[in-house]
Structure 1
């Protein structure tokens, strides 16, 4: 058996407290391919917790049977800081209360330019050697990252566990949603089997969002180097963000279904020995992220949707309404939510009391929308 659990202590935020990240390791260290999985970076998104817990049980059996061929690292609870933000029974785990605040999945350290300076005089025509060179340089730069605060320590630890992986799978969810994923354009084909196994019909394809999210950060070094050295530096890491439906889509059935899909994908990538699964990706469609309509609340009030998750919609169609509870005339207090593109309604906020101007629904479209700004494709 190769299964090991390593505990990584974060810097003390306050006297007498300390949080820990637990990483589950399968396979021999350094074996390839290496796949890294984590859940709960947004600490109020919980389906991934149960999915990875279920996957761990499957992997332990595979390990006992000697089937682990590569290396697998799983951090089932990636953000103990956010989970501790319990405010009167509610865990607002998307944004940090301390360390300057901000979205836990934004503004991760970007190492591309620093790594390029380290390796530029040593790049050769040996592609395999170049990959090793880059990974060593990434490790050296990671060691230099500050870890004075608890949040800095968490980011540094998670990147140290993931940035040498061949694939990085970051598990999230939306408020209410169908299964979908955010995938870099370069990896559409590579991750198509994974999305098919998960039953996703919507993939959001992007080149670079400008968010410096966790999954983007894991490939940003390689994207930077490929701009300089093209084919001499291959994709050493591929990553994506998987959205496991909605916040309340948590059950043993869903967890078993999704964990089996992830397990089958690990077999497909030959990380685990076994018969490769059959793939039917006929229902999966990739939509450009800059074609995604973020439907905004025209006023504050109670939202009522006329369309269900997964429904096709047309530009100009009313997909719901927001009722302004303070309008003087109750006969005219309902304001329509109008789609601005043809596509699929795939996600919306779970709560029904909404704030004026906030994005409350997402429609995956096929044509670029002029009001969507490249480099700022995520609003939070």
Structure 2
């Protein structure tokens, strides 16, 4: 039975709880600081311990505030390397404003090399807005949304396919609620310079991802990537993202050094199909794909077959594409089970539409 004396007065709102994560870093101080966000934890092995979440903050007077994140999923390596290289090389004198670099956002998952945290099986990109007194992943999500996003002008979240998927090298744009903001995001995608830019109307994360948190924080411009994956480091995607990041930061005024970087002459714009139209495995077994990344496919076309290893004399299960389009990503492990995603597909925006969008942004002016 609830004790009425412990309830707030009718109509009163309780104060939101502050994050339990703390740090010695002074976000108001000029200079380059490296350290940790510290998440208190009390397991059997360490009664008064804390989880270290590495962070670097570079601030030089006034200017934009940019948040760079990788390690949202712990097995997505390319973005982590991009940000670790950048934070070691960037100098205080290079920066205008503030750049916050969080290369291992879900630090327990990063250290374990897993998509999700070994401490609570938490997928950080499905835990926003988080909980201040929740398990580690939920507490990290709450800290990012309530302590890092307010006052931020741009968020760049570096993803790749991780252990189970391989993507075309892409910049990801979540279609904003306010359509006029799409032009700005497309201009940022062009600056990042990856060969593909794809727009998704309904991210698989829903509003529980970092993109949803940015929307709740006043519509902060949010840009993501898919940099290869396949359980390894895609060197071509890595190098393109390193150069693109410098070009992007220079474009938004966060870097003061005068450098010229080659620009992508053409951005191939795609629109990702909704999740219900992905190709999923209907059975357990060994997947034999019949198409590769970037290929044009037709609705009803055979995507591949799944061989039953327990009864190899059976005919394999045949899987088909749901829609016409291009293969945006594919499953990497051959072993699969019911419900695994095998392929994502996307439409290519007509040349006239793509050209108009890029002209509106000034890219092709």
Verify same fold: TM over 0.5. yes
Aligned residue in 1 for 2:54:
22
Aligned residue in 2 for 1:41:
72
Relative distance call for 1:188 and 1:291 in structure 2 (3 A) is farther
* Counterpart contact for 2:303–2:321, Cα < 8 Å: yes
* Counterpart contact for 1:163–1:218, Cα < 8 Å: no
Q: How many residues align?
A: 306
Aligned residue in 1 for 2:151:
164
Aligned residue in 1 for 2:297:
313
Relative distance call for 1:248 and 1:200 in structure 2 (3 A) is farther
* Counterpart contact for 1:68–1:272, Cα < 8 Å: yes
CA distance in 1, matches of 2:134, 2:321: 46
SS of the residue corresponding to residue 274 of structure 2 reads helix
Relative distance call for 1:195 and 1:292 in structure 2 (3 A) is farther
Deviations 1:211-268 (A, max 9, x none): 410222122232xxxxxxxxxxxx4x11132111114451666433311110111011
Relative distance call for 1:251 and 1:328 in structure 2 (3 A) is closer
Say yes or no: does 1:245 pair with 2:228: yes
Say yes or no: does 1:304 pair with 2:288: yes
SS of the residue corresponding to residue 360 of structure 1 reads strand
Relative distance call for 1:218 and 1:266 in structure 2 (3 A) is same
Say yes or no: does 1:190 pair with 2:176: no
Q: Normalising by the residue count of structure 2, what TM-score does the alignment of the two structures yield?
A: 0.75
CA distance in 1, matches of 2:234, 2:273: 29
Relative distance call for 1:181 and 1:206 in structure 2 (3 A) is farther
In the alignment, structure 1 segments of 5+ residues that lack a partner are: 111-144, 223-234, 368-380
Relative distance call for 1:149 and 1:340 in structure 2 (3 A) is closer
SS of the residue corresponding to residue 3 of structure 1 reads strand
Q: Which of 94, 99, 123 is the matching residue for 2:115?
A: 94
Map 1:142-157 to 2 at 5 A. Answer: 146-147=132-133, 149-157=135-143
Say yes or no: does 1:338 pair with 2:320: yes
Say yes or no: does 1:217 pair with 2:237: no
Shift of 1:282: 2.7
Deviations 1:17-59 (A, max 9, x none): 4211121111236x33111111111112222111112222442
* Counterpart contact for 2:125–2:209, Cα < 8 Å: yes
Q: Which of 328, 334, 340 is the matching residue for 1:352?
A: 334
Q: Which of 243, 251, 256 is the matching residue for 1:268?
A: 251
- Judging by fraction of residues, say which structure has more helix: 1
- Structure 1 runs (4+) deviating above 6 angstroms are none
Structure number with higher relative contact order (C-alpha < 8 Å, ≥ 6 residues apart) = 1
In the alignment, structure 2 segments of 5+ residues that lack a partner are: 1-29, 350-365
